[in-house]
Every structure is written in C-alpha cells, then in structure tokens.
Amino acid sequence: MDPLADLLEAQFEPLLRRWVSVVAASLAPDVRTTPELADHIPAFLRHIIDALRGPVRLSQSPVDGHSVVGREHGAQRFRLGFELEAVVREYGLLLHILLDLVENTGATVSIRDVRRLIDLVTNAVAEATTEHARRHAEARKTAEMDRERLLAQEVEARRAAESASVEQRRAFQALHRSEENFRVLAEAIPQQVWTATPSGALDFVNRRVVDYFAVNAEEILGAGWQAVIHADDLAECVSRWTHSLATGHDYEVEFRLRRADGAYRWHLGRALASRDERGGVAKWFGTNTDIHEAKTVREELETRTEFEQYLAGIVSHDLRNPLGAIHMGASILLQMEELGDRATKVALRIQSSSERAARMIGDLLDFTEARLGGGIRIERRPSDLYALTSTTVDEVEAAYPERTVDLTRTGDARGHWDPERLAQVALNLVTNALKYSPTGTLVTVHVAGKADAVELVVHNDGPPILPERLGRLFEPLQRASDEIDRKTRSVGLGLYIVNAIVRAHDGDVEVRSTAEVGTTFTVRLPRDPARRPST
C-alpha cells in the first residue's frame, strides 16, 4: 500500500472541490459550471494515485508510460478560451493543494512519491501546453484550407471580379488573424516556444528564447540552436530530432541549455508535427520547459536512496554478524558449569543486550525496506493467527515472569498470511501493552474469527496515550511516552512496522485509548488476499 496514494484516495472529493474553487476564483471567474472547470482533473488525480501505487525501479523515469490526460485538458481549455498561462498555473495550484494536504495531515510521504508527483505534474504541464499550441496550429491550417476552398469556388463559379476580390481579402485577413493569435499565445506562456520547417530549421522563437540566451533571434534560427546545448547532450538531442524529422514522430528530449550568464539549466524539449491535407509534415511546434529544480531534486533523492540502500547493506551484514558472534559467545558462557554468579550475571546482560540490538537492527532494516521499496515484503502461506499468537505470548511471558497475559479466541483463525511477520506484529503489540501498563494489571489478547477476516485485539490498562500523539502513533520515530521509551532505549519504529506489515496483508490497524477503558489495538486481516475485510 502507498500512504500518499491512500491519502489522495480518501481526500479525493475534497481535493477536487478545493481545486475547482481556487481555479474559479483566481483563473476563470467567467466559467461558472463545475464540470467545465473540473474537466480532466479527476482523471489526472486517478492517474497520480495509480502511478503512486505502481511498481517503480530506480532506473525507471516516473514519466514513462504517461497518459494523454494532459493533452485532453489542454484541448478543453483551448475550446473554453483559456490563456495558456492560466493552464500552466492550474497545475501549479494543483501541486500546491496536494502538498498542502500532505503537510496539514502530517502524512508520511516517501521520496519515491515526491519524485513521481513532481514528474507527473511537470509532464502534464508540458502535455497541456503543447496541445494548446497544436490547437492553434490546426486553427491556422483550417483558415488556410478555408481560403483555398473559397478560391476554388471562385474559379469554378467564374464569379465577378469584384466578388472574388472581396472573398480573397477576407480569407487573407482570417489567415493573418490566426498568425497573430499564435504569436500572442507564444509570447504569453512561460515556456520557450519555437517552430520549425519540415526540414527541421527553426523559423520562429518567442521572446523568452531571446531573453534566456540574450541574443538576436536570428542567431537561434536555422540550426543556430545547437550552439547553446551542452556538449554532452548535443549528440542525443540531434539524434532524436533527426529521427522525428524522418518519421514524423513526436520529439522529446531532456537537455541542458546555456543561459546568458553561462549557467546550464535542464529543460524538457518537446515538439509535435502539424500535418497538411496529404498527411505530410507542414510545421513543427515545440516548447522547452525548465525542469532544472525538479531534475536536481530527483537526482539528489536517487543519490540518497542509493546511499540508504548501501547503509542498509552495512547494517544487515557488517553489524548482524558480530552481534551474532557476541550472542553465541554469551550463550556458550552460560552453559559452562564453573561460571560464577557474577560472571553469569554479566553473560546474561551481554546476551540480553545483543538480542535487543538485533531487534533494533531488524526494525531499522524493516523501516528501510518499507520506505525505499514501498512496503514490507511478505510470503503468504496457510497460517493460524491464534496458534502463532499463542506461541508469541508464551515467549513474552517467559521474558516478563512477573506479568500475566490472558489469551482467548472465538471462531476460525486461519487464513493466508506470512506467519513470521504476523508473529512480529503480535510480539510488538503484546510487548508494548506490558511496557505501557502498571505491573499489577492484566493484559488481554483476543483472536476473533469473522466471516471474511480475523481480528487480533490487544488491550491494557493504565494511562491513556496523549491525544496529540495518538494521531501520529504509526509514523516512524513516534512514541507513546518519552519517559518509558528512554528507559527501554526504543527507537520508535515498532508500531510503524506493525502498520506496514498489516497493510502489506491488505489489512488495517486502529487504536483507541481513554482513561476510562485503557488502550486497545485492533488488527483486521482478510483471510483471502484478494478480498478486504468488510466493515
């Protein structure tokens, strides 16, 4: 499961209403109907949610396999008469609303989600603006076709010279207006805009191109644009452009462009072909979108991810091995009959400390796996939740001889789960219940078989969890009580891992805590991995 995708799914309708309200107030006050404003944004949000839940490799760009939602949105906005700058700002507003939601709810967002969210919105902007430009090009082509049709009708009908002159003048005026509209549009949008002939020579650039490079437009036209591309990117750029010119396929490339001050910034270059009535390329319409900040953040996150994976490897191998040797040595010492009381006490302390360190390393590895891989891996097989919980309770009672855990059951507790992982869930919850409750109180554990799910309920008496901590209890590095966790050296990952394991089984976990009834954790697990428990 993906926390950000789940959050967007749960807040889908409020997000949509908020976005429509902001767009209506700031960008489109004359468009009054919600369907016109909402347009393809619901589909785009669905696309984001699906993309966040999909598997991603570190070498895979989050824009691979993108949808056509951005193009459809750009086309609809063109029909409504939106300025292209407003279309760009719409996506900026949407990204701010999504990030505000994450901040306001305090949700934990993985670096993968941040990277994919930025790239999805950036790509949608490029799609929408390019489609907007294409529509203007098609309008221009329509005007040209209208002109040719009028001229053909004039020749065929042999109309009077005066009538022919009037019709011809009207056609040229329409063509001129279309040309002017395109140029106005090209100057209004924040991207660099350019057009090229079918052979690939640039024949127009907007003011943003001129300002960025601080040169005359003539220096960029033709093939002059190649002089401002980073030397390491030029070959790939020219290769893709040559391929598009030969095939008519869309052009897309990421390259660095040298700004007037000598600094290089990453841009996403895209171009689409406008075709004539015979299907040949009549014109190329292109944009360069500055993606420098987004690409820099993405590269930094990838570098950080690689480091975290390297660190996880060190923890897994280089720390676990010496700890295993320490634990084994302590166990051997405890088997020696001639060991004195003092030495036995020291050996027991070494054994206990090594076990606690091993559990902490296991928690850190699980945490890293959940954060980097999008969830904890599980291996399902037929399991009995009551049987594995009973074994876990016996182990816990052996470690806490002064405490009593009352285990009960109702119904069938069998299902398809990962028994080792669920034993880890039971161990964390029962241990927490003992740790956060007074010594003389009873901890109860109940396993209940339902129609399509099984529940694990762990209850303890004692002081309630503070309300301000309750909502963040399943987040990493969060604790129910600083005082108790300082004594036990807890790193605050136990409940985060419990939640990750339960979600990996398509289940859910909730907690209720009051001064009157104590604290209760309830885990719900569907028996069948294809079905979620009913509510």
Cross-strand pairs, 318: none
Average of per-residue pLDDT values in the chain: 79
User: What's the pLDDT at 447?
Assistant: 96
CB atoms within 10 A of CB 345: 11
DSSP state at residue 229? B
Taking CA atoms, 17 is separated from 107, 120, 151, in Å, by 20, 21, 50
- The pLDDT confidence band at residue 519, using thresholds 50, 70 and 90, is very high
> Residue 321 class from Cβ within 10 Å (0-12 exposed, 13-18 middle, 19+ buried)?
exposed
As a whole number of angstroms, the distance between CA 470 and CA 484 comes to 16
209-261 pLDDT, tens digit per residue, is 999 999 898 999 999 999 999 999 999 999 999 999 999 999 999 999 999 99
Q: Which of 284, 281, 232 is nearest to 258 (CA)?
A: 232
Give CA 94 to chain center in angstroms.
14
Stretch 150-156: mean pLDDT: 61
Query: By the 8 A CB rule, do 507 and 533 touch?
Result: yes
Percentage above 90 pLDDT, the chain = 28
Q: What is the pLDDT of residues 24-75, one digit of tens each?
A: 887 765 655 777 777 778 888 888 888 888 764 433 333 444 457 778 887 8
- The pLDDT tens digits of the residues spanning 425-439 come to 999 899 989 988 988
Taking the CB of residue 289, how many other CB atoms lie within 10 A of it?
Answer: 22
Residues 6+ apart with CB under 8 A from 486: none
Instruction: Output the six-digit token pair for 95.
Output: 């990204």
Q: DSSP assignment of 304-359, as one string? A: HHHHHHHHHHHIIIIIHHHHHHHHHHHHHHHT-TT--HHHHHHHHHHHHHHHHHHH
Beta bridge partners of 255: 267
